[in-house]
Amino acid sequence: MSNAWHIGVIGGSGLYDADLLQDAQQITVQSPFGDPSGPVTTGFLGNVRFTFLSRHGAGHRLTPDAVNYRANIDVLKRCGVTDVLAISAVGSLREAMAPGDVVAVDQFIDRTAGRERSFFGPGCVAHVGLADPVCDRFATLAGDAAEAAGAKLHRGGTYVAIEGPQFSTRAESRMFRDWGGDIIGMTGMPEARLAREAELPYALLGMVTDYDSWRDGEAGVEAPDILAVLSANAARGMDTLRALADLLPQDRSPAPADTALEHAIITTPDKRDARLVARLDAVAGRVLG
């Protein structure tokens, strides 16, 4: 098995430009789980291959609930990605996490509904562990890179994933604070769940754009507020990726998530649905092949 890093990056289309990658190629990759958000762009930062996928598609055409998270993760797995870094705009539920700051997430509260949450199902049942949904090693490296790029970083934070596309009410925002949430967004789940099922170590850097709607005496969050901060964050995001390429160890050693499916598949071989198993060739071929 190769010990080279191949970093998959899921983020907005403004996260990178044509000059970021060397030998860049845009490739359309098909998935048996439907259409991904768009083509991938793959190339090199130094000696490290990076493959980018715009979560919401070109021109931000997809709402959070319309993103095909399964296809996106499946496509990255098919590209040979070893680790996935999500870079996402988030609202803050804590005074100390101010707009412009970056949070290296370590936990999630999933409040999404109606999204496909698993690659598995009837005919091939699997239960992966998700107690620690983020790869600690990769999150540490991503956090180091954000700091090297000049960000004020918060190491660790609980991401509350809501369905959207509307922002929270004030009552909801305050409730999420009481639950222990630190930041809030609409796309971290089921993305993190599916990355674990695909045996891809996952890290999420949340770029804080606003204070959501919990602060007394202030207007709630609105889209123009977010867009203003996002434009400023784009350059820092690219600097973070450059720093990450420099910080990665030369050789990639195994991570716990690499073998998440080792004992997770419950269905006996004689009862597995051949059609579903065929769809799982990239995600679970290591254990089903």
Q: Distance between CA 141 and CA 245 in Å, rounded?
A: 10
Under a CB-based contact definition with an 8 Å cutoff, are residues 191 and 10 in contact? yes
Residues 6 or more apart whose Cβ sits within 8 Å of residue 54: 11, 12, 13, 15, 37, 38
Active site residue 225: no
Of 110, 210, 270, 273, which one is the catalytic site residue? Answer: 210
Of 132, 212, 239, 270, which one is the catalytic site residue? Answer: 212
Count of Cβ atoms closer than 10 Å to residue 60 Cβ: 12
Under a CB-based contact definition with an 8 Å cutoff, are residues 88 and 199 in contact? no
Active site residue 19: no
CA dihedral 228, 234, 240, 242 (to 10 degrees): -160
Which residue numbers are catalytic? 210, 212
